[in-house]
Structure formats: structure tokens, C-alpha cells
Amino acid sequence: MDKGLLHLHNLLRWVILLLLVVALFQALTKKDGLRKSSLSLLISAHITLLLGLYQYFTSETVGYSIIKRMEGFGNVMKDSFARFWAVEHFIGMLIAIILITIARGKAKRLSYGPAFWFYLVALIVILISIPWPFRETVARPWFPGM
């Protein structure tokens, strides 16, 4: 079950990135449909957050178990792999989802300018926080399990 949830978490990453680009384009060009795409983005982001939180607290290799295994945050912060999974990925994605939620509120009121900037910053934070295959210590495949 854990492997399936990890694959779903990874698949939703691509859905979020696609919907984020669509929402950015719609906010920039002030196109209709921003309300609908922003709602789909919000739902995808929150489902991914729930899956990530489950993995953070139950996985043996990432998240909270790293903190327990390394006997505290002091040791975690010295190790780049552990720091990424226990702190950087978690905090970065949490910030991005908060920004997406704020942008959804702006998009609902059709405030295109502020929604665009919140979505843009969220996209940048997500791109920084993803364990891309070219990141040396925390690399994950583009499509694991496929």
C-alpha cells in the first residue's frame, strides 16, 4: 500500500505542475476558466498534501522516522539527504500549498494579477522542493514504478 501511495503522490506532482501552468496562463491572459482550473489545482494540491503527510509520519526512509533514527534535528541538519526529506521538502511544499490556497481565493474573486503572482511563487517553490533526478543526494526517477 505504501508503494502505491508513493506512486500516487508522484503522479499528482505532474498533475499539479500541469494545472499550475494552466492557471498561470489563465491568470496572465485573464481567460475564463480560471475558477475551474484553480479549484482542480487546489483539490490536487490538498490530496497530495494528505498523501505526503501520511508518508512523512509512516515511512521508514523519509520524514519523521529520520528524525527519530538520527536522534534529533541537530544531526538531521548536518546530513543533506536527511535534511531534504525531514525539513526542506516538507516545508517547501507546505508553503507552496498555502500559496496555492491563497491564489485560489484571489482567482475566485477574479483578481487576476495577485492570483498570477501567488501561482508563480508557488511554482518556483515546488520546482525547488521536488527531488528531481539530477539532484545528486535526493534524486528520484521522473516516473518511479513505470
pLDDT band at 16 (very low <50, low <70, confident <90, very high): very high
Contact call for residues 46 and 100 (beta carbons, < 8 A): no
User: How far from chain centre, in Å, is Cα 125?
Assistant: 8
- pLDDT for 51-62, tens place per residue? 999 988 888 777
Q: Over the stretch 30-43, which tens digit does the pLDDT of each residue have?
A: 887 888 899 999 99
- pLDDT score recorded for residue 145: 63
The mean per-residue pLDDT over the stretch 71-80 comes to: 82
pTM given for the model:
0.89
Confidence of residue 146 (pLDDT cuts 50, 70, 90): low
CA distances from 105 to 1, 95, 113 (A): 34, 16, 12
**138 three-class SS:** coil
| Span 93-141, pLDDT tens digits | 999 999 999 999 998 888 889 999 999 999 999 999 998 888 888 878 7
CB 122 within 8 Å of CB 20: yes
What integer pLDDT is reported at residue 119 of this predicted model?
96
